[in-house]
């Protein structure tokens, strides 16, 4: 999982439009009111991949975008930039061949504690090299 997180961060850094718009950066794990908005919380979870071959790994990758502006313009712009950066992204994951990185779901835009939030979920299928 560590190599997948590294590959996501490399992709994020290389996509200057998304990285420059997300001034609060990407944080691993749980959300915190301490983070400077706009920011993103990243969570990666390994999912069991039920085959007879141990060479495959499947992950769910969740991005939660957060903005503290009064209107939803900033969060929607961040959402579009996230999709442009990661939809069907060709990540380079050390030790693996990326079979597919695809968007599974997006949550509805919501306002919580005076902050806009939207969550985007991806699936990632890797094969060991």
Tell me the pTM.
0.91
CA proximity to 126, closest of 10, 2, 4 = 4
Domains of the chain, start order:
2-128 (3.30.2000.20)
DSSP 3-state of 78: helix
What digits encode the pLDDT tens for the residues 70-126? 999 999 999 999 999 999 999 999 999 999 999 999 888 999 989 999 999 999 999
CA proximity to 107, closest of 72, 63, 67 = 63
């Amino acid at each position: 999982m560590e190599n997948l997180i590294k590959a996501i961060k490399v992709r994020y850094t290389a996509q200057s439009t998304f990285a420059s718009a997300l001034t609060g950066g990407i944080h691993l794990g749980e959300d915190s009111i301490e983070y400077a908005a706009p920011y993103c919380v990243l969570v990666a979870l390994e999912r069991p991949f039920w085959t007879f071959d141990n060479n495959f790994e499947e992950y769910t990758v969740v991005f939660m975008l957060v903005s503290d502006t009064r209107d939803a313009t900033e969060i929607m712009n961040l959402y579009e930039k996230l999709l442009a950066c990661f939809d069907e992204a060709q990540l380079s994951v050390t030790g693996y061949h990326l079979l597919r990185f695809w968007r599974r779901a997006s949550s509805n835009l919501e306002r919580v504690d005076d902050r806009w939030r939207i969550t985007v979920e991806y699936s990632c299928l890797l094969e060991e090299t």
